[in-house]
């Protein structure tokens, strides 16, 4: 099972090696992709980063009652995933109160209940796509507003171009409360070879094949891009688009899994130093 851990890290390292803007730099302080001696070490790492992602969502103001769920696969038992506990504010999530669940929504480890909406959507995607390691969803202001338009994000900036041809709009089950398994199955069918989805009348979802860090950062980035597009369109002036060839170039070089992971390191550094209780 340790080979699975090494394979995951190797994939992220290969992505890093392809980055022409942020290659490995010797002799200076620069974030290094971790390697692990055991699945226990890898599990602890994933759980800590999942907690940090929840805390980051709290900082961004993504809380909305008990809505919102983040998940990451267990490295030893990939049919199980760790997620935030039901009815616990993102700012209060810590390693000790995370829950481990299976694809049927059963809590395998932990004291809290599972958010059924989180189970329906995330479990369906995780089960249908073994390559997806982590997912994020929250009921955000701008993402939900933009989702009501039922259209993809436009490449109006380099940041938005990171999602060019790498996100989809899901119209199936639009507006339906996602507590029925058929709704989750409908969504998972769309989530192929993209890192993000705009679910019409619902909101944003992101996924990563490599890390919860990447999934969390790209969610924050997508919400920000939705806000920017809504602001630009409110002027009534048609924005200038980044041309398709330049958008694809940006997506490949600043929209990768590695760049998402790298961006999250600033968030991790700040949270790990200022909120030590998340490790409890």
> What's the CATH code of the domain at 249?
3.40.225.10
Measured CA to CA in angstroms, residue 126 lies from 15, 95, 118, 260, 277 at distances of 22, 21, 11, 20, 29
Banded model confidence at residue 1, pLDDT cuts 50, 70, 90: very low
Max distance between CA atoms of the chain, in angstroms, equals: 56
Does 280 fall in a domain? no
Does 229 fall in a domain? yes
User: What is the number of domains present in the chain?
Assistant: 1
Helix, strand and coil percent figures for the chain, each rounded to 5? 50, 15, 40
pLDDT at 7 over 50: no
Does 252 fall in a domain? yes
pLDDT tens digits for 250-263? 999 999 999 999 99
Residue holding tokens 């602001």?
231
pLDDT tens digits for 175-216? 555 555 555 555 666 778 899 999 999 999 999 999 999 999
- Structural domain range at position 180: 2-275
Q: Provide the mean pLDDT of the chain.
A: 88
pLDDT tens digits for 120-172? 777 788 888 889 999 999 999 999 999 999 999 999 999 999 999 999 998 87
pLDDT tens digits for 20-58? 666 667 788 888 889 999 999 999 999 999 999 999 999
pLDDT at 173 over 70: no
Query: What pLDDT score does 23 carry?
Result: 65
């Amino acid at each position: 099972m340790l080979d699975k851990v090494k394979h995951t890290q190797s994939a992220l390292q290969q992505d890093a090696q392809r980055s022409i803007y942020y290659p490995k730099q010797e002799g200076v302080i620069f974030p290094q992709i971790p390697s692990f001696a055991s699945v226990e070490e890898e599990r602890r790492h994933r759980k800590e980063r999942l907690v940090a992602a929840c805390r980051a969502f709290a900082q961004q103001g993504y809380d909305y009652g008990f809505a919102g769920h983040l998940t990451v696969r267990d490295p030893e038992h990939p049919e199980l995933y760790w997620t935030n506990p039901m009815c616990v504010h993102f700012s209060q999530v810590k390693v000790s109160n995370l829950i481990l669940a299976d694809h049927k929504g059963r809590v395998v480890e932990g004291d809290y209940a599972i958010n059924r909406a989180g189970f329906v959507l995330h479990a369906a995607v995780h089960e249908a796509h073994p390559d997806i390691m982590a997912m994020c969803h929250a009921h955000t202001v701008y993402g939900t507003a933009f989702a009501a338009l039922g259209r993809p994000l436009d490449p109006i900036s380099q940041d938005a171009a990171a999602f060019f041809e790498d996100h989809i709009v899901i119209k199936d089950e639009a507006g339906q409360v996602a507590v029925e398994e058929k709704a989750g199955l409908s969504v998972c069918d769309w989530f192929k070879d993209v890192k993000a989805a705009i679910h019409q009348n619902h909101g944003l979802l992101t996924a990563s094949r490599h890390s919860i860090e990447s999934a969390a950062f790209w969610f924050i980035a997508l919400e920000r891009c939705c806000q920017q597009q809504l602001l630009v369109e409110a002027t009534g002036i048609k924005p200038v688009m980044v041309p398709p060839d330049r958008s694809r170039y940006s997506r490949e070089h600043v929209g990768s899994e590695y760049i998402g992971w790298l961006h999250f390191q600033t968030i991790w550094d700040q949270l790990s130093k200022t909120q030590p209780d998340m490790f409890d």
